[in-house]
Structure 1
Amino acid sequence: MRSLNKFKNSKPRQTGATLIEILIAVLILSLGTLGMAAMQARALKGNVSSFQRSQAVVLATYMMDAMRVDKNSAKALNYNTGTLTGTGTINGSICTPASITGTTLADVNKKHWLETTKAAIGTSTDTTTCGAVYCDANGSCRVQVIWDDSLSGGLGVQKLEIQTLI
């Protein structure tokens, strides 16, 4: 009987969690959730940057295909607009669709290509989204697209260039 009295008079054992333990658990859970949200935001920025690069590839290929259809005009240098330098400086490239006023197939293709490029990668008033086309008389053509990737968390000015023989 003595042993039973010993447990009866002692303090009761703690049951459940204390308020401090709950607060620490909530703090750890909150920090983990914030970390996951930051990773998700970074992934979305990378996704936008990747989408822009994919659009630039599709648009450059589109222009090459348009020149393949109008091969004689491309070899006659009617598609030439100039080139873009590696730093993004524009050498005779086209940045505004309104600057193309001709009605030939080459002019219509260039204007439509630039409007589509600005709609897919930049904005209609964007001056950093530009395109350049350069072909020689032998049919060796180069298409360049330049855009600003800093809004999507990228590295700033990006340039894509494809070259082929049409």
Structure 2
Amino acid sequence: MRPHASRKTQAGVGRLEILIAVLILSLGLLGMAGLQARSLQQNQSSMMRSHAVALGYSILDGLRLDRDAAMAGAYNLGLTCAAPAATGQLAGDTLNLWISDLQRVLGQGATTCGLINCAANGICTIRIRWDDSRAGGSATEEYEIRTRL
């Protein structure tokens, strides 16, 4: 008859397996947390782009409303980050409100800017620029719409 193997030689093997399993599990959880953080960054970037699109179409609606003044250049605005002073005129007040909305929705800062360029033939270009560095992308993102009024 053979004597049973001594329990002393196997002591701690189960604990080592559990320790390795916990280590692998923790690395997996860290990976999942990293994926979640990256997903949140991309979601933020997507939301900012959606806001920029909505703000672009918002000013286009204003330009279509006052088509003659837009084609005459009353709404033309170089790439500016500061809201122009309200003038009491429809064009000036609309531009003031639009740039203020850009700053409020896309973030205060020197990179949140808007441009409007309408030609006499009715073709208008709207460009919106904002800071997207929190999403891990470039420091500035840009959205441009070109349409005929």
Q: TM-score, normalised by structure 1?
A: 0.81
- Secondary structure, aligned partner of 1:18: helix
Q: Say if 2:112 is the partner of 1:129.
A: yes
Q: Secondary structure at the match of 2:137?
A: coil
Q: What RMSD, in angstroms, separates the aligned Cα atoms of the two structures?
A: 1.9
Which runs of no fewer than 5 residues in structure 2 stay unpaired? none
- Number of aligned residue pairs: give it: 147
Tell me, yes or no, if the aligned pair for 1:148 and 1:156 is still in contact at 8 Å.
yes
Asked which structure has the greater RCO (Cα within 8 Å, sep 6+), the reply is 1
The answer to whether the Cα contact below 8 Å between 1:147 and 1:158 also exists between their aligned partners in 2 is: yes
Deviation at 1:130, TM superposition (A): 0.2
Q: 2:35 aligns with which of 39, 58, 64?
A: 39
Q: 1:1-150 residue pairs with structure 2 within 5 A? A: 6=1, 9-11=3-5, 18-82=14-78, 93-97=79-83, 99-123=84-108, 126-150=109-133
What letter is aligned with 1:116?
A: D
The aligned amino acid for 2:52 is A
- Tell which structure's C-alpha radius of gyration is larger: 1
Q: How far did residue 94 of structure 1 move?
A: 2.1
> Structure 2: which amino acid aligns with 1:42?
R
Give the partner amino acid of 2:94: N
* TM-score using structure 2 length: 0.90
Q: How far apart are residue 148 of structure 1 and its match?
A: 1.4
AA matched with 2:46: S
Q: Which runs of 5+ in 1 are unaligned?
A: 1-5, 83-92
Poorly superposed stretches of 4+, deviation over 4 Å: 12-17
